[in-house]
Amino acid sequence: MRKVLLLLICIGTASCNSDTKVPSYLKSYEKLYAENPREANLKWFIESKYGMFIHYGLYAQLGRGEWVQLRDKIPVREYAKLKDSFTAAGFDADFITDLAIKAGMKYITITAKHHDGFALFETKQTDFNSLSAPSSRDLIGELYEACKEKGLGIFLYYSLAADWKHPYFYPRESGWRSARPDYQEKQPEYLFKEDKDFEKYIDFAHAQLTELLVQYPEIAGIWLDPIMGFYNRPDLFPIDETYRMIRSLSPHALISFKQGANGDEDFSAPERGGAKRVGTQLEVANLVYEKNKNKLKEICNTLQPHSWGYNKANDGEHKKAAEVLQMLADAEAQNANLLLNVGPLPDGSFPEEDINTLIEVGKKFKSK
């Protein structure tokens, strides 16, 4: 069924081959790209060192971080109403890319879909997206075009292993606490009954990943999240199939899945320095971490004290330039990239304190 779905999506597009032209951010690697697109991308990634992470979605309107639906146990129906007030009026791709360049960054990674299931891109799989909201905009498309124009790479974050909106995602009762919020009352939107139902979610996710790869063929890669215990169930969670699909559609694109899901990732992306996780649910993930520990590494951290999505309670407490410069030095000491996160305000604009910090860091970082 999934192969048929992929074929139908490809037939509906101009082309399923993303490598007919060299992406703008790889212009300096044109010769290697002609020989091996993925190797050219890896070389670029190693030399890039520093990127911007952006966590933006419906949750920004509540100002309590990106996990607010799960932590506050907001009912699915109530949370979905946030779409009706999502304007993204301050989201300015031109400003964001200019700021990234001023900061000394070489690429941007943005949440195309976070755990709440809301998509910032054009998708035929659901109307829970930014084009169906008052914003009426393809935010991923806008940022993609701005990155292309200015020679920045762009990675698309996709929450593959958690979706609090999809009716057939695995239930919390499975033991994976992040799978769904701990609702006290049954959510009528949740229809999962047996393992076979999860295939409907996988088909949905593969269709959305295909849309991302076909609509934005020059992306640097796909950044999957979060790390979960699904990896000991390849019958349930077909990571190998997902990776084959991505690499078939985009031979140059890199793949990351945090510390790793099956060991076939191009780089690992641990949070805040990369401590290994503990607990029986993550034993398999830790084994994969061992496989990936000598691969390229990207350490992701956030300008807020802890949250990735905007948290109003932390206004005025964001990291300063000296702290960011130390993070850059720490990453360099580990031969790792630093992916530094900004949580935009409800309207999509950046906090002023983050703008000032990034500009100050850029002046010092680029003068080294």
Residues 241-298: tens digit of each pLDDT: 999 999 999 999 999 998 888 889 999 998 987 544 444 444 555 566 677 778 899 9
Q: Does residue 221 carry a pLDDT above 90?
A: yes
* Residues whose CB is less than 8 angstroms from the CB of residue 291 and which lie 6 or more positions away in sequence, other chains included: 260, 263
Residue 113: which H helix or E strand, with range?
A: strand 107-113
CA-to-CA distance for 42 and 317, rounded, in angstroms?
35
Rounded to 5 degrees, φ, ψ at 123 are -140, 140
Helix axes 93-102, 139-150, angle to 10 degrees: 40
pLDDT band at 173 (very low <50, low <70, confident <90, very high): confident
How much of the chain, in percent, has pLDDT values that exceed 90?
Answer: 79
CA-to-CA distance for 244 and 148, rounded, in angstroms?
25
Count of structural domains, the chain? 1
CA-to-CA distance for 99 and 88, rounded, in angstroms?
18
Taking CA atoms, 328 is separated from 18, 44, 141, 193, in Å, by 32, 18, 29, 47
Which domain range does residue 60 map to? 2-366
Global model pTM greater than 0.85? yes
CA-to-CA distance for 2 and 286, rounded, in angstroms?
29
CATH of the domain at 312: 3.20.20.80
CB of 337 within 8 A of CB of 45? yes
**Side chain identity, residue 245:** M
**Closest to 216 in 3D by CA, of 160, 145, 146, 159:** 145
Taking CA atoms, 190 is separated from 163, 177, 180, 201, 230, in Å, by 11, 16, 10, 12, 19
Q: Is 327 helix (H, G, I), strand (E, B) or coil?
A: helix
pLDDT tens digits for range 67-124: 999 999 999 999 999 999 999 999 999 999 999 999 999 999 999 999 999 999 999 9
CA-to-CA distance for 262 and 268, rounded, in angstroms?
11
> What is the overall mean pLDDT for the chain?
90
CB of 222 within 8 A of CB of 255? yes
CA-to-CA distance for 9 and 104, rounded, in angstroms?
37
pLDDT tens digits for range 4-41: 444 444 434 434 544 458 999 999 999 999 999 999 99
pLDDT tens digits for range 124-154: 999 999 999 999 999 999 999 999 999 999 9
